[in-house]
């Protein structure tokens, strides 16, 4: 069960980061009508913040803290 949860976590993280790159590509190469420019900018900012949260989790202290909690819960902590 834990392994499935971990696979979905990595999959969701990869999808969010890929979406950030895809939207950046679209913003660079697709003209945006002036009437929709604000909503596109806000939506892109939201997606970028999701990507930042994903990167912050996997490469920040949250991941190592989560791993440490799992080790302690399993009773495998080295002394």
Q: What is the pLDDT of residues 22-47, one digit of tens each?
A: 888 988 898 989 998 899 889 888 88
Distance CA 50, CA 58 (A): 13
> Is the predicted pLDDT of residue 71 greater than 80, yes or no?
no
**Nearby residues of 32 by Cβ (< 8 Å), 6 or more positions away:** 40
Give Cα separations from 29 to 3, 13, 21, 42 (angstroms).
39, 25, 12, 18
Q: How high is the pLDDT of residue 35?
A: 92
Q: How high is the pLDDT of residue 41?
A: 86
Helix (H) or strand (E) holding 70: helix 61-74
Nearest to 50 by CA among 24, 16, 27: 16
> Is the predicted pLDDT of residue 6 greater than 70, yes or no?
yes
């Amino acid at each position: 069960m834990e392994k499935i949860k971990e696979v979905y976590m990595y999959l969701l993280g990869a999808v969010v980061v890929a979406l950030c790159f895809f939207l950046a590509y679209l913003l660079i190469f697709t003209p945006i009508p002036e009437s929709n420019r604000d909503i596109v900018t806000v939506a892109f900012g939201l997606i970028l913040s999701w990507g930042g949260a994903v990167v912050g989790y996997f490469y920040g202290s949250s991941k190592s803290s989560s791993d440490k909690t799992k080790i302690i819960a399993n009773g495998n902590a080295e002394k």
